[in-house]
Structure 1
Amino acid sequence: MTTTRIGLKNLITDVPGLKVGNAQDENVLTGTTVILPEERAVCAAAIAGGGPGTRETDALGADKLVDAVDAVVLSGGSVYGLAAADGVVAAMGAKGEGFGLMDLPNVPKSPVVPSAILYDLANGGNKVWGEDTPYRALGRAAYVDALTARTEHEIGAAGAGFGARAGSERGGLGSASIVTADNITVGALVAVNCFGATRMPHTDAFWAYPYEIDGEFGGARPPADFKLDPDDWGAAKVNPKAMQAASTGRQNTTIACIATDISLTPAQAKRVAQMALSGLSRAIRPVFAPFDGDVVFVLSTAKQKLPEPNPLALARIGELAAGTLARAVARGVFEANKLT
């Protein structure tokens, strides 16, 4: 009997019609990730953190003119990292790609490239770049990387997660996928730079352990006698139980992209994005803090129709997105810390 399973690569690129590219700067200790649909795709975003940094998210509303995007960019660099989308827009525009109400001679189209950034400025590396930040070049490099048929991509210390921190340990870029018995594919890609901890206090077990498939992030489990102290945040950047004091600022943020091959309207994609946010709360504690800028995008590559009945099928996709995102968070942190 056919059962629900992870995709062939256990990456967001198991979703048909999608490529991913990464670029990073080891000297600056930062990076960028580009999610590139083969054709313009419906996209929505849900923002839950108290300190987000985004571009073009207002254009994604179901009541707005543009109903599809050309790419999604995730980047380090805080506000400077928003320039990564400039590199992608310029490269796509030069090829004549993007949105245009009509074709006019010598008038370029406008690529629609929503993006979100995380704060890795205080995580090491040489950030003394003056007026010439590295992010436009990183965005273009990640876009070129995606173009080279990148249906496989790096996770861990890669792309937008290259300079990330997850609580008090190294953060990273995570990805995961799921394929249902009736062949719905959902994937998740996430750059984990959270204020909270991804592991349960005083254990190696990830909060996302109930969702783990085939030991994909180490298989650690909490001890049988584990008891949660509600005020113990474990290896978060600040732990009130330990009476730690630190400057948190906007030095955090987890940014993610969900993709599915099911055709969604902008309103349906928005609902999936809102449901997918719960994947972050399954994998990170605390989450959506005032100094996190947590954002989740949803892309539909529209390779097959939404099964009937629509509301139930949509609920299935939203729940699959949440569980897959939780797994991707743990995979990103697990793979990044294998190197340390």
Structure 2
Amino acid sequence: MVSPAPASRPAPRPGPLNRLTDVPGLRVGHAHDAHVRTGVTVILPDAPATAAVDQRGGGPGTRETDLLDPVNTVEAVHALVLSGGSAFGLEAAGAVTTWLAGRGVGFAVGEALVPIVPSAILFDLLNGGDKAWGPAPPYAALGRQAVETARNADGAFALGTVGAAYGATAGDLKGGLGSASLVLPVNPTAAGPPFTVGALAAVNSLGQATLGDTPAFWAWPWAVGDELGPRARPAPDDPTPGPTDFAFAAPARANTTLVVVATDLALTKAQAGRVAIMAQDGLARALRPVHSPLDGDTVFALATGRVPLGPEPLVALARCGMAAADCAARAIARGVYEADSVGDGTSYRDRFRLR
């Protein structure tokens, strides 16, 4: 007797914007300085969001990430800040902290309110922009501009050469800011509300997002629709990808890919940490090499808590982590695909004549 074929299940689909902000309750704002070739991106939850971090690069630059350890007291954050500028860029988070405090937002300590604003930076100091800012780096002003933009955002936000990735590079291509999302059922075999997973990536990697000199993306198997353009998939006559390029010249700069993954599931801090760990696999799918001594690769996870995990929480958590890794890979490749050329940084679409 032949067993009946299993019932077909709907494939996960992107949210309506195919961006991090498909997760309800999140806003994103950018600011950049074209003369300096740098920028800032702020992720602003409507309400405090559970948060975690997983940091694997060898050259990180971060602020207030220790408090995201599950053993520490604070459970939720009021904003996340991604910035260019290396250590100078950490000033952006201070400006966002002050902006939030001025609006009565923060973690209550007696009568005091302390906004919780973790941050991570990427290195863009050698990209040809004018970094002779003297005693006044631009990052505090950019942080205030980015959070104001986030407050007034309607969900959509720009991709490519914007925000924290304005001055970024990705291997020998211009880096950029990308985003992607997926909507999935909590329980694929029963009725119930779906949940959403989104990712945002500021791509400033040592590694290549493409397979050698071809336009094919390492992340092509996870692409949805035409989000990575018409040449994302390897052509039949392309060289077989594999370990053939171990010899590479390290550029005279540091790097870093910064990723934020988010979901509307009701996760604990420890569960959000597991999602951040799983999402790191998305970096490995999209870039080669990754997590190198020259990268500060960091993944934040946010959970807004609007959808319960359901009767099988471990299964739902695993599905969320899988989706987060897929979205992270797509967001990284999409950031490179959407970038525009700036100075000596040649964009993917200019390199491969897709304009």
Mark yes or no: TM-score above 0.5.
Answer: yes
CA distance in 1 between partners of 2:302 and 2:185 (Å):
21
Q: Which residue does the alignment assign to 2:130?
A: 126
Q: 1:88: how far off?
A: 0.3
Q: Is the 8 A contact 1:40 1:69 kept in 2?
A: yes
Q: Which residue does the alignment assign to 1:281?
A: 284
Give CA deviations for 1:51-81 in whole Å, capped at 9, x if unaligned.
Answer: 0000000011111111100000001000000
Residue aligned with 1:137, SS = helix
Compare 147-156 and 14-23 and name the one that shifted more: 147-156
Matches within 5 A, 1:253-292: 253-292=256-295
> Does residue 64 in structure 1 map to residue 67 in structure 2?
no
Matches within 5 A, 1:188-267: 188-220=199-231, 221-225=233-237, 226-232=239-245, 240=247, 245-249=249-253, 251-267=254-270
Q: 1:312: how far off?
A: 1.3
Point out 4+ residue stretches in structure 1 off by more than 3 angstroms. 244-249
Distance verdict in 2 for CA 1:3–1:339, change over 3 Å: closer
Q: 1:246: how far off?
A: 4.4
5+ residue gaps, structure 2, are: 1-8, 187-193, 340-346, 351-355
Q: Is the 8 A contact 1:2 1:181 kept in 2?
A: no
Q: 1:101: how far off?
A: 3.1
> Does residue 332 in structure 1 map to residue 338 in structure 2?
no
Q: Is the 8 A contact 1:209 1:219 kept in 2?
A: no
Q: 1:3: how far off?
A: 3.7
Q: Which residue does the alignment assign to 1:162?
A: 166
Aligned length: 326
Q: Please, what TM-score do these two structures have when normalized by structure 2?
A: 0.89
Q: 1:216: how far off?
A: 0.5
Residue aligned with 1:278, SS = helix
CA distance in 2 between partners of 1:126 and 1:168 (Å):
21
Q: What CA RMSD, in Å, does the superposition of the two structures yield over aligned residues? A: 1.4
* Counterpart amino acid of residue 224 in structure 1: P
Compare 12-21 and 303-312 and name the one that shifted more: 303-312
Q: Is the 8 A contact 2:54 2:276 kept in 1?
A: yes
Identity of aligned residues (%): 50
> Does residue 34 in structure 1 map to residue 39 in structure 2?
no
Q: Which residue does the alignment assign to 1:7?
A: 15
Q: 1:338: how far off?
A: 6.2
Matches within 5 A, 1:97-136: 97-102=105-110, 104=111, 107=112, 109-136=113-140
CA distance in 1 between partners of 2:35 and 2:74 (Å):
38
Q: 1:202: how far off?
A: 2.4
- Select the residue among 144, 151, 176 that pairs with 2:148: 144
Give CA deviations for 1:84-143 in whole Å, capped at 9, x if unaligned.
Answer: 1011001001111100133x2xx4x10000000000001121011111000011111000
Give CA deviations for 1:10-40 in whole Å, capped at 9, x if unaligned.
Answer: 0100000100000000110000000011000
CA distance in 1 between partners of 2:11 and 2:35 (Å):
45
Q: Which residue does the alignment assign to 1:173?
A: 177
Q: Is the 8 A contact 2:181 2:196 kept in 1?
A: yes
Residue aligned with 2:77, SS = coil
5+ residue gaps, structure 1, are: 234-239
CA distance in 2 between partners of 1:247 and 1:210 (Å):
29
* Counterpart amino acid of residue 209 in structure 1: W
CA distance in 2 between partners of 1:228 and 1:2 (Å):
31
Give CA deviations for 1:148-184 in whole Å, capped at 9, x if unaligned.
Answer: 0331100000000100000011000000110114511
Give CA deviations for 1:231-286 in whole Å, capped at 9, x if unaligned.
Answer: 316xxxxxx1xxx544445x100001001000110000000000000000000000
> Does residue 306 in structure 1 map to residue 309 in structure 2?
yes
